[in-house]
Amino acid sequence: MRALIQRVTHASVTVDNKTIGEIAHGLLILVCAMQDDTQANANKLAAKIAKLRIFQDDNGKMNRSLQDTNGSALIVSQFTLAADTSSGNRPGFSTAARPEQGRDLYEHFTTQIQTHGIQTATGEFGADMAVTLTNDGPVTIWMEF
């Protein structure tokens, strides 16, 4: 699975002009299931993100995790993270998981984040979404398992 995580002071996702997910302090997690991904990939990614020390401690060092800070996670499915831009000018997405598998792994990933004691909000799988965020830092990290 692939994820692009952004440390945020606020993030929200809107579908059809209605806010369906919103968080304050925490992480915006854009996540994409790839063709060969399994629940084991989702488990590893969720565990790593929950414990990733990218929040500042009292000395201003990135030394605290999402769990340590009681932050929240806004999890949004984003198949375009599978983009292959190696040839031509139009990205290909053939390495992304098929929609059924992608939805299952997205939902499993969200459940796994919750098992680490993290409050979550989500987007809507497959929907046309508008995501707003205030990136804190900015801190943006690419991850893949």
Query: Token pair 């965020």 is at which residue?
Result: 133
Q: Identify whether 143 is part of a domain.
A: no
For the chain, what percent of residues have pLDDT higher than 70?
A: 100
To the query of whether residue 145 is one of the catalytic residues in this protein, the response is: no
3-class SS of residue 52: coil
Q: Identify whether 106 is part of a domain.
A: yes
Q: Supply the CATH number for residue 111's domain.
A: 3.50.80.10
Range of the domain at 72: 2-137
To the query of whether residue 80 is one of the catalytic residues in this protein, the response is: yes
Exactly one of 19, 80, 115, 132 is catalytic; name it.
80
Exactly one of 79, 109, 112, 120 is catalytic; name it.
79
Beta bridge partners of 21: 13
Q: Identify whether 26 is part of a domain.
A: yes
Q: Identify whether 142 is part of a domain.
A: no
How far apart are alpha carbons 107 and 53 in whole angstroms?
Answer: 24
Q: Identify whether 132 is part of a domain.
A: yes
pTM score above 0.75: yes
Token couple for 123: 């987007």
| Angle at CA of residue 21, ends 20 and 25, nearest 5° | 160
Residue 89: other Cβ atoms inside 10 A = 5
- Render pLDDT for 33-60 as a digit per residue (tens, 0 to 9): 999 999 999 999 999 999 999 999 999 9
